[in-house]
Structure 1
Amino acid sequence: MLSIYSSFVCKCCKKEFVLLSEQLENIKGYLVCPYCSSRKVKKENIADNLKECMSERSYKRINGALRQK
């Protein structure tokens, strides 16, 4: 079964972002960090559940919304 979510970590700004598998197929290999536009990204985790993709130390709840630290 194909996993739905893939998480990536930027090596320059150290921020984590999550992409859907459909989005990865659409970009055809050109993957950059959405925060700093660096091409130095590392694939961290692949999962079916979004909460499994997001590590607990990278995200916290602020007024009910998930925010990145």
Structure 2
Amino acid sequence: MKNVGIRCAVLFLTLADSRRMANDHPERGDVPGWVMITLMSAVLVAALLALAGPALESMFNQAMDKVGS
């Protein structure tokens, strides 16, 4: 009779763990990984824009000059 409380606790923990495992879908994704990929992509775009910005601006201005004349 002394072990009834321990057995109930073990049963409760087992059921709670199995319920958690059922809700934890294996293909739900890796949120921190996607956040890192998004940030790295944003930094890459900003770096490319900083390097190619003046050339793109001059190309745009030349195109506008040709259209306007």
What TM-score do the two structures reach when normalised by structure 2? 0.20
Q: Say which structure, 1 or 2, has more relative contact order (CA 8 Å, 6+ apart).
A: 1
Structure showing the higher strand proportion among its residues: 1
Bigger CA radius of gyration: 2
Structure showing the higher helix proportion among its residues: 2
What TM-score do the two structures reach when normalised by structure 1? 0.20
